[in-house]
A = this chain, B = another copy of it.
Amino acid sequence: EFVARVSGIPTMAKLPFQESTDGLDAAFVGVPIDTGTSNRPGARFGPRQMRVESAMLRAYNSGTRAAPYESLMVADIGDVNVNLYDLKDTCKRITEAYRKIVATGCIPLTMGGDHTISYPILQAVAEKYGPVGLVHVDAHADTSDVVLGEKIGHGTPFRRCVEDGLLDCKRVVQIGLRGSGYSADAYEWNRAQGFRVVQAEDCWFKSLAPLMAEVRTQLGNGPVYLSFDIDALDPGFAPGTGTPEIAGLTPIQGLEIIRGCHGLNLVGCDVVEVSPPYDTTGNTALTGANLLFEMLCVLPKVKHY
């Protein structure tokens, strides 16, 4: 018996909704905030809209021949209950929620929310797995010390992660950086930590498959977190985001990065900064939902035909 794609409560990829991670190998989970954003808000509605646009995601990935549901138990476990009026309290809530998710080895596939959330998520993840490698796809480095007078926000999560020892800095790569910044020296800190930094300019006109082969070598067998800021993509493809920068990656390159993570020991993934009020074409949420499905398809143990 068929089920019309248009029918039903909008869970991610039309998966069952359950409140706990009992029995799950991986779980889609939303973190609906935008109070860490410095320009356009709206990412608080990212989880809701990615769920809505995920209705066409079916069971088999024709591009990679992955069939994730044939080997993994997956569900949509809803959203973290955030505090829109206190970003630091929200961070605590996130860490607590993720502690429970990762406790049993369930892999969280997070629907953001602004990029602030990767910091408290990584606190829980690193508690479980120790310092992790990181594939960070973004137009921005997000390693500022202070933005607009504050330590916590979407411009600072990976600075905080380094300070807290959550990252294995030799196993960190940042891809897609570009645009304007406050000063020249703001671009030195991450390199000084040992991050590999791949500017967008180094990606133009190119398949990123060769880059990802190098990344796999660099990151090896240890635990890896994959964090994908949708603004890494060119705003022609993903206009619905808070701090768009022109001349970015294509969705094809986005898929190459994610597919290139196949073989890594992924312990968590996120897609952040999808801002539906600015997503006038609907492509941004559609793309975010697809990226999350592709992340699911490269998790360890997923069956491929």
Is A72 close to B, CB under 8 A? no
Q: Is A227 an interface residue (CB 8 A)?
A: no
Which A residues between 28 and 60 are near B, CB-CB below 8 angstroms?
A: 30, 32, 34-42, 44-45, 48, 51-52, 55-60
Judged by a CB distance under 8 angstroms, whether A192 is at the interface is no
| Number of A residues, CB within 8 Å of B | 100
Question: Secondary structure at chain A's binding surface: helix, strand, loop or mixed?
Answer: loop
A150 within 8 A of B: yes
- With A42-B41, A184-B65 already in contact, the answer to whether A56 and B243 are too (CB < 8 A) is yes
Contact A60 to B282, CB < 8 A, known contacts A4-B84, A6-B45: no
Question: In the complex this chain forms, how many copies of it are found?
Answer: 6
Assess whether A86 is in contact with B150, with CB atoms less than 8 Å apart.
yes
B246 near A180 with CB under 8 A, answer: no
Asked if B63 contacts A6 (CB within 8 A), the reply is: no
A72-97 contact mask (Cβ, 8 Å, vs B): 1 or 0:
00001011111111110100000000
**Residues of A266-290 contacting chain B, CB below 8 A:** 277-278, 280-283, 286-287, 290
Contacts A/B (CB < 8 Å), 5 sampled: A4-B81, A35-B85, A41-B41, A52-B52, A281-B281
Residues of A within 8 A of B (CB): 1-11, 17, 30, 32, 34-42, 44-45, 48, 51-52, 55-63, 65, 67, 76, 78-87, 89, 147-150, 152-153, 177-184, 186-187, 199-201, 204-207, 234-237, 239, 243-247, 250-252, 254-255, 277-278, 280-283, 286-287, 290, 293, 305
